[in-house]
Amino acid sequence: MQAKTSDKLLDAAEFRMRRGGYNAVSFRDLASDINIKSSSVHYHFPTKEVLAVALVERYSERFFELLKSEADGAKTPEEVLKAYSATCEKALVVDKAVCLCIVLGAEMPGLPQLLQDSVRRFFDANIDWVERALPNTYPDALRNRKARAFVAAHQGAIVMAIGLGDLEIFRGISEDSLRGVLPSKPNIEAL
């Protein structure tokens, strides 16, 4: 059974957008990627903004599905947070590309409004997820702060890993940020 045309279009759009940003994607390129004409793309997605919003929504759903399955069976905060790192790393290693939402996040002010909203929701959901995973001994304000730091460090790490062409860099950063967010275990390496 074949993938639907709209899904093939989103696949092509995701590949291109994660490598060059919103403006690096054109309807003609997407059409030629899957051997149809650009006018046919408009049948599935009337405008580029609509296409991009649909793409972010699909990306977000898949990310959280993967996250859920990675975190399956995890008990301690440490295990749950490691599932978050593993989810990011998997997307990074498999696709050899940056997170869709960090590319779009970086060019945020230049994006159409509905797309900005979608990207923002993705990050809010990320922070929310991490926040719930943190030890409940933390006061609320600290939990939120730690969660933001954890997510930001991962997104930064992904960009650096791809930009410097060194996927190993990601692991080091995610380990460091895990230590940063958990109640102080001594930093053994640094002693």
Q: How many residues does the chain have?
A: 191
- Round to the nearest angstrom and report the end-to-end CA distance of the chain: 57
Binding site partner of 37, from DNA, a copy of itself, none, Cβ cut-off 5-8 A by kind: DNA
**Token code pair at residue 123:** 């990050």
How many amino acids of this chain bind a copy of itself (CB under 8 A)? 56
For residue 183, state whether it binds a copy of itself (rule: CB under 8 A): yes
For residue 46, state whether it binds DNA (rule: CB under 7 A): yes
- Which residues lie closer than 8 Å to 37 by C-beta, 6 or more apart? 31
For residue 42, state whether it binds a copy of itself (rule: CB under 8 A): no
* Identity of the residue, 52 or 111, whose beta carbon is nearer to a copy of itself in the bound complex: 111
Residue 87's H or E segment, with its range, is helix 77-95
* Identity of the residue, 31 or 88, whose beta carbon is nearer to DNA in the bound complex: 31
For residue 176, state whether it binds a copy of itself (rule: CB under 8 A): yes
**Token code pair at residue 36:** 């149809």
* Segment interacting with DNA (CB under 7 A) among 42-50, 127-135, 151-159, 166-174: 42-50
**Amino acid identity, position 156:** G
